[in-house]
Amino acid sequence: MSSNSNYDTRSIKFRLWAYFAAFGLGIVALIWFLQIFFLNYSYEEMKIGEVTRVATSISNSYERNDKNLTTSIQELSIINDFYVMMESQNGILLFSPEQETRLPIQIYLDQTSKLKHLLDTSDETDVSFRMNTGLEDYQTLAYGRRITSKDGNTANLYIFSPLYPVTSTINILKNQLFYVTIVTISLAAILSVYFANRISRPIKSVTRCALVMG
Neighbours of 31 (CB within 10 A): 15
Within its chain, how far is the Cα of 34 from the centroid? 11
Give the residue from 137, 136, 134, 131 showing the smallest Cα distance to 161.
131
Burial class (CB in 10 A: 0-12, 13-18, 19+), 138: exposed
Say which amino acid occupies 89.
Q
Query: What CA–CA distances, in Å, run from 7 to 11, 18, 20, 114, 163?
Result: 8, 12, 16, 71, 52
Tens digit of pLDDT at every position of the chain (214 positions):
444 445 566 777 777 777 777 887 888 888 877 777 766 667 778 888 899 999 999 999 999 999 898 888 888 888 888 889 899 888 787 887 765 444 445 678 888 899 999 999 988 889 999 888 666 667 889 999 999 998 889 999 999 998 876 555 666 777 788 888 888 778 877 877 777 777 767 766 666 676 666 5
Neighbours of 62 (CB within 10 A): 23
Contacts of range 135-141, beta carbons closer than 8 Å, 24 or more positions apart: 137/164, 138/162, 138/163, 138/164, 139/163, 139/164, 141/47, 141/48, 141/51
Please give the Cα distance from 115 to 141 (Å, whole number). 11
Say if CB 126 and CB 120 are below 8 A apart. no
